[in-house]
Homo-oligomer: A and B are copies of this chain.
Amino acid sequence: MTTSITKKQFIINTAADLFQERGYSATSIRDLAAKVGLEPSSIYSHIRSKEDLLSEICMSCADRFSKGMNDIYFQDISPRKKMRALIQLHLDIAFDIPASVTVFNDEWRFLHEPVLSDFLEARKEYEKKIKKILTDGKKVGKFEFQNIDIVFSIIIKMLSWSHSAIKKFNKEALEAELTSFITKH
């Protein structure tokens, strides 16, 4: 049983690497099977479909972001400190599971119902919390901006920086520049 779960996770992680490298659509089950050392049909002993792999990657990533956000959001600290913690959260996850984060960011659109709705709902919840932190910060005069939706989108874009860019830099330097961009603002 334990072995089975581990192998399934190994297949999912390998799928994340391939989806990141070639994209979900351009990756075949045969590619995946070759990389994990199985015959193509044997993959289906561990998963039900190709899309299942994408669902697992996207939803586990979404869960991790949601949990991390809640830990920050409900703390009694300033909006500025929350934004800093949020930057760290994104960097921690991106450095830990870079392939999954890239797939989560770029390939989620290939999800179908009912998983798609779950995904979009989780994301919307996450976005609402970021926006709340930003508007709270503006109220107490710590952030300056005019259009919350635009600033939110810019920040999300900076935070969802893909693996390929992130792996070239050192985490502390990245954190310093991002913090400067986001919280000096």
| A interface residues with partner B (beta carbon < 8 Å) | 23, 25-26, 106, 109-110, 144-147, 149-151, 153-154, 157-158, 161, 165, 168-169, 173-174, 176-178, 180-181, 184-185
Q: Is the interface of A mostly helix, strand, loop or mixed?
A: helix
A185 touches B176 (CB 8 A): no
In Å, the complex CA distance between A99 and B26 comes to 20
In Å, the complex CA distance between A6 and B79 comes to 54
Residue of B nearest to A21 (CB): B109
In Å, the complex CA distance between A147 and B175 comes to 11
Q: A147-B173, A157-B165, A184-B185 are in contact. List 13 more A-B contacts (CB 8 A).
A: A23-B23, A106-B106, A144-B180, A147-B169, A147-B177, A149-B168, A151-B177, A153-B165, A154-B158, A157-B157, A180-B185, A181-B185, A184-B184
Chain B residues with CB under 8 Å of A176's CB are: 146-147
29 A-B pairs with CB atoms under 8 Å apart are A23-B23, A23-B25, A23-B109, A23-B110, A25-B25, A25-B26, A26-B110, A106-B106, A144-B180, A145-B180, A146-B173, A146-B177, A147-B169, A149-B169, A150-B173, A150-B174, A150-B177, A151-B177, A153-B161, A153-B165, A153-B169, A154-B177, A154-B178, A157-B158, A158-B158, A181-B181, A181-B185, A184-B184, A184-B185
